[in-house]
Amino acid sequence: MKLTAVILAGLTNLAVASDHRDLSGDVWASSLTKRQTSWAKRQTTWNPPSNLVKPLQEVWDHESSTYNNGNLLGFKNYGYDIIKASGGKLNFCVRWDSSATVTEAQRTAIASSLQKNVKKWTDNLTGFMGWPYDNIPVNVVGWAAKNTNLLQGSTSGIDVYTTTDSEGVAECDPRCGRIFHQDNNYGSCPGGADRHYDVSLWLTAGMDGGAGGDWGQRVGSEYFLSALDNPHIWLHEFGHTMGLDDFYDWTPTGQTNFIMLAGSSQVVTEFDIWMMRDFWRHVANR
């Protein structure tokens, strides 16, 4: 993963970005580990299993030296920052990058999937080294589509956007997006701060791979709807939102199957969780 300048709706932002190789469908073809192994999920202190101590240190050393020109702690829009700025919740806006219709039932299922799968990461921070939240409510507050007719059924309770970005893709209103307003000032958002979105779920027709960062996650629309219970590509991309790295060019000692090693696992593993905890303990008090 890297920190890179991106242009979004005319604004230049320093953003957390996944490796471009995440976009390739070939990377995700195998995904060997399919079953979640059990471990003691609730942890209050830094006490990883002995076999993970060395690889965790290797990961942190690599992130510290490669993120933000060696100033990892100077970047302040990792997922932990986003959740704290939003008062312990996470609001999504869905970008429907497809010419297909999406039913009300499908939209409800997508929201339920996000609620379930965010927890696969964030529940493992509960009680850990000052993490202030027991539960992270997840809401879908808006949908963007080129044409409102693509959103079948009732759209009550969500904001609907039909504007497009510079490439003609439906986008959620930049006035309401965290990536554009990291000062937490949503005064220009038509619905006010309560209707802001923290990250986008960008669903693109025909996409086989993924992308992720502090702006949100991007995966295939057909893929996500077919994998609602455990969208492993999305789980990897959400790991980027939480600041975790890609491992295309090296692997930590003894670690061969974990969600952040693209294509090696379909589940979030103990090593993934300890990497996230390690990240939090370093950024918590900056």
**Which tens digit of pLDDT belongs to each residue from 131-163?**
999 999 999 999 999 999 999 999 999 999 999
Q: Does residue 1 carry a pLDDT above 70?
A: no
Q: Does residue 39 carry a pLDDT above 80?
A: no
pTM comes to 0.91
Identity at 80, one-letter amino acid code? Y
Q: Is the CB of residue 92 less than 8 Å from the CB of residue 110?
A: no
Distance between CA atoms of residues 20 and 17, nearest Å: 9
Give me the pLDDT at residue 55, please.
98
The model's pLDDT over 175-223, given as tens digits with 9 standing for 90+, comes to 999 999 999 999 999 999 999 999 999 999 999 999 999 999 999 999 9
Give me the pLDDT at residue 32, please.
58
Give me the pLDDT at residue 31, please.
56
Distance between CA atoms of residues 231 and 154, nearest Å: 26
Average pLDDT of every residue of the chain: 91
Give me the pLDDT at residue 3, please.
46
Q: Does residue 244 carry a pLDDT above 90?
A: yes
Identity at 87, one-letter amino acid code? G
Count CA atoms within 13 Å of residue 104 on its CB side.
7
Distance between CA atoms of residues 173 and 107, nearest Å: 19
Distance between CA atoms of residues 276 and 59, nearest Å: 11
- 66, burial (CB in 10 Å: exposed 0-12, middle 13-18, buried 19+): middle
Q: Does residue 38 carry a pLDDT above 90?
A: no
> For the residues 35-45, what does the mean pLDDT come to?
73
Strand arrangement, sheet containing 210-213: 2-8, 11-17, 210-213, 216-220, 199-204, 90-97, 138-144, 159-161
Model confidence at 41, in pLDDT bands (50, 70, 90)?
confident
Distance between CA atoms of residues 83 and 88, nearest Å: 5
Give me the pLDDT at residue 264, please.
96
Run of H or E residues at 234? helix 232-241
Q: Does residue 233 carry a pLDDT above 70?
A: yes
Give me the pLDDT at residue 20, please.
73
Of residues 13 and 52, more confidence is placed in: 52
Give me the pLDDT at residue 4, please.
43
Q: Does residue 268 carry a pLDDT above 90?
A: yes
Greatest pairwise CA separation for the chain in angstroms: 55
Sign of CA dihedral 82, 86, 89, 95: negative
Dihedral over alpha carbons 171, 222, 259, 61 (to 10 degrees): -30
Q: Which residue has the tokens 């294509």?
A: 263
Q: Does residue 110 carry a pLDDT above 70?
A: yes
Give me the pLDDT at residue 173, please.
97
> For the residues 36-47, what does the mean pLDDT come to?
78
The model's pLDDT over 69-105, given as tens digits with 9 standing for 90+, comes to 999 999 999 999 999 999 999 999 999 999 999 999 9
Give me the pLDDT at residue 42, please.
86
Q: Please state, in angstroms and as integers, the Cα–Cα distance from residue 255 to each residue in 52, 203, 217, 233, 274, following that order.
A: 9, 31, 25, 19, 13
